[in-house]
Amino acid sequence: MARLVLKFGGTSVADLGRIRNVARHVKREVDAGHEVAVVVSAMSGVTNQLVGYCRDASVLHDAREYDAVVASGEQVTAGLLAITLQSLGVEARSWLGWQIPIRTDGAHSVARITGIDSPLLLERMAKGQVAVIAGFQGIGPDNRISTLGRGGSDTSAVAIAAAVGADRCDIYTDVDGVYTTDPRIVSNARRLDKVAFEEMLEMASLGAKVLQVRSVELAMVHGVRTFVRSSFADPDAPQVNERGEPVGTLICDEDEIVEKQLVTGIAYSKDEAKITLRRVQDKPGIAAGIFGPLAAANVNVDMIVQNISEDGRTTDITFTVPTADYERSLALIDGLSSAISIEQVSGSKDVAKVSVIGIGMRSHAGVAAQAFEALASRGINIQLITTSEIKISILIDAAYTELAVRTLHSIYELDKT
């Protein structure tokens, strides 16, 4: 018998038919003798609708009231799933974030979990009751409902799994695992059996949409083995592959992966914009004077390249920001002109970031050179490069994104078992 936390996203609970399918998945685990908690998102499209209501009511709305409104979507799903489970003969009870409670900081709409009081939850689970928990929400220091930001139900699930000492956290979604790259671009992309926490964190932050970044961070910190699987599979069909293993991708510690591939996957993001500052004063404190105000405005600066100054007086700095922050970043830079001498500011939103990820890169040389040569052979110009122990990120023209992904996927032979 194991203790499991199962999480179901918006597409998995999109309507009553899908909720009934989810209930059968849960019942299968209960019938197998497991202690089960379930975390649910709002039904597909509901959160967007609730956010729209808040914006229509007032553009400058109170974040605390925003949380009260948008958290209601998960409450509906939790209640409906509990009712459905009860109709199947499964003892179940819905729980809201404040009832457990899941405690958060006071940053309404983007709160972070600070603690979970799990004794009552554990007591009910030990007695065979399925806890159906509304994801994405908690209770802040002001005793008001707080929400964790978009995709926060993944974070809720992993945090609860850590709090109750779950053997595994199963993330049910509309895909059957994590792939070597986007199957919509590379038709022969391969589903991975296991991915290390570090690799998944890089993949999630660099464009892969399977898991929310904060959930992977939590899983890595607390050692929560996380299994990505499809909610659209038949709940009554065998849930194992030809080797007798569950169908999906296990996110786990690097030590669990016996054969480490050189490269695990190729991620990409088109949500990138590039800004270049030419002939900037080259003296101590200038970089802080530029990137400090951007950080204070919550602009996430990613790739940064500073050219070596030839004359010792000026230099060029290029960096990337999310596309949504491009215009705001330009305005912030323009506001610095009185304090920092910048001769010219230019930028572009027609760029994309393509990344090569793999823990095997730590012990192998020549991985980057192989990528650069392959892209050059396809006539793809590289604008920026950043690297870490397990990843290489390359900024290119957005028009070449799919060609770059296919090229890199091929040269590292990721389509082969």
Residue 41 is which amino acid?
S
Q: Could you tell me whether strands 92-95 and 130-134 are parallel, antiparallel, or unpaired per DSSP bridges?
A: parallel
Q: How far apart are CA 77 and CA 135, in angstroms?
A: 10
Residue 139 near residue 101 (C-beta atoms within 8 A) = yes
pLDDT at res. 20:
97
Residue list for the binding site for ATP: 7-10, 173-174, 179, 184, 209-210
Q: How far apart are CA 122 and CA 161, in angstroms?
A: 11
Span between the terminal Cα atoms of the chain, in Å: 32
Residue list for the binding site for substrate: 47, 74
DSSP line for 302-329: --EEEPPPSSSSEEEEEEEE-GGGHHHH
Q: How big is the chain, counted in residues?
A: 417
Query: pLDDT 10s digit of each residue in the chain, 417 long?
Result: 899 999 999 999 999 999 999 999 999 999 999 999 999 999 999 999 999 999 999 988 999 999 999 999 999 999 999 999 999 999 999 999 999 999 999 999 999 999 999 999 999 999 999 999 999 999 999 999 999 998 899 999 999 999 999 999 999 998 889 999 999 999 999 999 999 999 999 988 877 778 888 999 999 999 999 999 999 988 887 766 666 667 899 999 998 887 778 899 999 999 999 999 988 888 888 888 999 999 998 898 989 998 876 777 888 999 999 999 999 999 999 888 767 888 889 999 999 999 999 988 887 778 899 999 999 999 999 999 998 889 999 999 999 999 999 999 999 999 876
Residue list for the binding site: 7-10, 47, 74, 173-174, 179, 184, 209-210
What pTM value is reported for the model?
0.87
Q: How far apart are CA 278 and CA 370, in angstroms?
A: 31
pLDDT at res. 215:
94
Question: Phi/psi at 351 (nearest 5 deg)?
Answer: -130, 160
Residue 216 near residue 365 (C-beta atoms within 8 A) = no
- Identify the helix (H) or strand (E) that includes residue 169: strand 168-173
pLDDT at res. 240:
67
Tokens of 198: 């570090």
For residue 57, CA distances in Å to 44, 51, 53, 68 come to: 22, 10, 6, 14
Residue 6 near residue 37 (C-beta atoms within 8 A) = yes
Domains, the chain, ordered by start: 3-256 (3.40.1160.10), 266-411 (3.30.2130.10)
